[in-house]
Amino acid sequence: MEALTNESFKTKVFDYENNKTWSFKGEKPAIIDFYADWCGPCKRLSPVLEELSQTYSEKIDVYKINVDTEAELASAFGVMSVPTILFIPKDSEPQMAQGALPKEVLEQAISEVLLGEAPQMMAGGGCCGGGCHSASESMGAGNESEMTAGGGCGSSSSASMMSSDDDEGGCCGGGCHS
């Protein structure tokens, strides 16, 4: 898993300052984890993403962006709570997910969203059961879809910050507000 700065993001993923239309620069589909060092759910998600980056190393790239040190980049994508994950297929629009997604949901997103494999039915559905909900939302980089699964904390400008020792977060270990 490689940490990205604003400059490396513009070189490896998308130059949002000079392009208004989404144009992915990567050679493989990618996952980008917007995280914060103080966020408990982010700390739990990190080893899962590291494992997935090794498992799928030939098929996808996995990056991480610290929202505290790369605030401009987080702002450009409308990231208001962490963890927020950006799924970037090779030839289509990116999709966002908020919250500490279960490994099974991440694997399903890799399979379906990034690799274009046929959808697989997940047991349970809904929050914590692997269901993803899509909604069209316009952000700084263009028109992306937002997937919410695994329960993120809702995002708003008046969001409260959760302490780093809060291991539960919201529903399913959700996310922290920044």
Q: Show the domains of the chain with their CATH numbers.
A: 2-177 (3.40.30.10)
Q: Is 136 helix (H, G, I), strand (E, B) or coil?
A: strand
The residue among 138 and 115 whose pLDDT is bigger is: 115
Q: Average model confidence (pLDDT) for the chain?
A: 75
DSSP state of 125: -
Give the tens place of pLDDT for each residue, 46-97.
Answer: 999 999 999 999 999 999 999 999 999 999 889 999 999 999 999 889 999 9
Residue 104 main-chain phi, psi, to 5 deg: -60, -40
Residues near 8 by Cβ (< 8 Å), separated by ≥ 6?
none
Task: State the virtual CA torsion across 76, 173, 52, 81 in degrees, nearest 10.
Answer: 0
Give the least confident one: 30-39, 91-100, 119-128: 119-128
pLDDT at 171: 32
pLDDT at 121: 52
Gap between the Cα atoms of 96 and 131, Å rounded: 14
Gap between the Cα atoms of 17 and 139, Å rounded: 13
Catalytic residues: 39, 42
Gap between the Cα atoms of 16 and 76, Å rounded: 8
Task: Give, in degrees to the nearest 5, the angle at Cα 124 between 119 and 127.
Answer: 95
pLDDT at 25: 93
**Tokens at 65, concatenated:** 């962006």
For the chain, report the end-to-end CA distance as a whole number of angstroms: 22
Give the least confident one: 7-21, 38-52, 138-152: 138-152
Residues near 46 by Cβ (< 8 Å), separated by ≥ 6?
1, 33, 35, 64
Element (DSSP H or E) covering residue 49: helix 40-55
pLDDT band at 120 (very low <50, low <70, confident <90, very high): low
Calculate mean pLDDT across residues 145-171.
Answer: 33
